[in-house]
Amino acid sequence: MTSSPSRRAIVSADDFGMSLEVNEAIEQAHRNGILSTASLMVAGDAAGDAIRRAKTMPDLKVGLHVVAIEGKSVLDLPAITDGQGWFGRNQLRLGVEYFFSPQARSALRREIEAQFRAFAASGLTLDHANAHKHMHLHPTVGRFLIESGLEHGLQAVRSPFEPPEPVEANDTLGDRALRHWIGVLRHQIRKAGLKTNDWCFGLRWSGHMTPDHIRGLVPRLPTGTSEIYFHPATAQDAMMKRFMPGYEQEGELAALLDPAVREAFDRYGVARIGWADL
């Protein structure tokens, strides 16, 4: 079947630079599979290795994975991180601080700008931006991400809106609340003149984007541009076991390498594109 521009997909991976296991998987999935895009954690333990690998893969488009929760910071500012420079894991508490605390907002602005500067210093071309755990849905995080991004040539930002029907889920009260914040984010994106996707897949099946799931998802993708994002790794290290227990990172890598998944995109007329094609 000929690919139709009415259904398009950006196939991406988050957490580039988190660990060597993640970097190895992203390289394999790009060289031998369908992965075209990755989002870099500039303060990740293996960020330097990720940057070196990316420079050997000119067709891999790399963006910034802004960290404002559950990860290492660049500046280690005590107003928003612990004694080791790590952001906390409590999304509600952080959200309240980022909204109401002037000290936290000021530190967050500086930190996000520093992450964009670190990406620029890598020598990589900025393809897009998003945030770890979709924290850019928080209006403060989203605003600072967009403002700093515009200073560094940002063109596209992820909208994490996953419709329930293609993943055979019910539309819940939580989904309806999430749509409100997605609307706020999309308003910020449009106002800034940036690009975004229509749909996003990887939320409900986060850590479980396995071959069976993806082979079933592709024919059900809606009209428009979908981002399908993954968390691949060749194995789980200690950090993954702590922060992502139960994730099937090796299964997600298998999906990206599966010839049947690649064939499904062709069979069902879903064009694989990049952010620059929007």
Greatest Cα pair distance, the chain, in angstroms, is: 56
d(CA 257, CA 99): 41
Can you give the pLDDT at residue 174? Answer: 84
Q: Does residue 111 carry a pLDDT above 70?
A: yes
Can you give the pLDDT at residue 38? Answer: 98
Can you give the pLDDT at residue 1? Answer: 36
Can you give the pLDDT at residue 173? Answer: 87
- How distant is the alpha carbon of residue 10 from its chain centre? 11
Q: Work out the average pLDDT over 105-123.
A: 98
pTM (two decimals): 0.96
The pair phi, psi for residue 237, each rounded to 5°, is -90, -175
Residue 58's pLDDT band, with cuts at 50, 70 and 90, is: very high
Q: Does residue 250 carry a pLDDT above 80?
A: yes
- From residue 121, alpha-carbon distances to 42, 64, 128, 221 in Å are 10, 12, 16, 37
Q: Does residue 182 carry a pLDDT above 70?
A: yes
Q: Work out the average pLDDT over 87-103.
A: 96
Residue 3's pLDDT band, with cuts at 50, 70 and 90, is: very low
CB 197 within 8 A of CB 227: yes
Q: 85-94 as b/e, with b when 16 or more CB fall inside 10 Å?
A: bbbeeeeeeb
Q: Which residue type occupies 156?
A: A
Bridge partners (DSSP) of residue 12 are 37, 229
- Burial zone of 191 (CB within 10 Å; 0-12 exposed, 13-18 middle, 19+ buried): exposed
Can you give the pLDDT at residue 108? Answer: 98
Token pair in block for residue 259: 């010839």
Can you give the pLDDT at residue 175? Answer: 87
Q: Work out the average pLDDT over 186-208.
A: 98
Residue 81's pLDDT band, with cuts at 50, 70 and 90, is: very high
Can you give the pLDDT at residue 5? Answer: 55
Task: Kindly report the average pLDDT of the chain as a whole number.
Answer: 96
Q: Does residue 2 carry a pLDDT above 80?
A: no
Q: Does residue 31 carry a pLDDT above 90?
A: yes
Can you give the pLDDT at residue 4? Answer: 46
d(CA 66, CA 15): 10
